[in-house]
């Protein structure tokens, strides 16, 4: 995997270094982890917004719940 240079302000660089040192990870690993965390956070916010919008339409929400119920898979516990 190749690398590239990115510019960040000194405060952000300091915070990244602190995070790296606290976990024993490299700076590259820390930036990679931060990028993944931000990506997951944005995805979660998008899903929450879409569910909120769906809840505004009672018919659509009921259809969603029915479909979720029909397609659910048991976890095998209990």
In this prediction, residues 41-50 reach a mean pLDDT of: 97
Quick count: other Cβ atoms within 10 Å of Cβ 30?
19
pLDDT the model gives residue 76: 75
pLDDT the model gives residue 78: 60
Residue 71: band (very low, low, confident or very high) from pLDDT cuts 50, 70, 90: confident
* Contacts for 30 with CB less than 8 Å, ≥ 6 apart: 16, 19, 20, 23
Residue 18: band (very low, low, confident or very high) from pLDDT cuts 50, 70, 90: very high
In this prediction, residues 9-30 reach a mean pLDDT of: 97
Indicate whether 47 pLDDT > 90: yes
């Amino acid at each position: 995997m190749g690398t590239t240079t990115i510019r960040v302000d000194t405060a952000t660089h300091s915070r990244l270094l602190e995070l790296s040192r606290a976990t024993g990870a490299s700076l590259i690993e820390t930036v990679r982890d931060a990028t993944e965390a931000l990506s997951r956070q944005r995805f979660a916010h998008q899903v929450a917004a879409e569910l909120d919008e769906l809840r505004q339409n009672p018919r659509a929400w009921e259809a969603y719940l029915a479909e979720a119920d029909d397609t659910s898979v048991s976890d095998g516990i209990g």
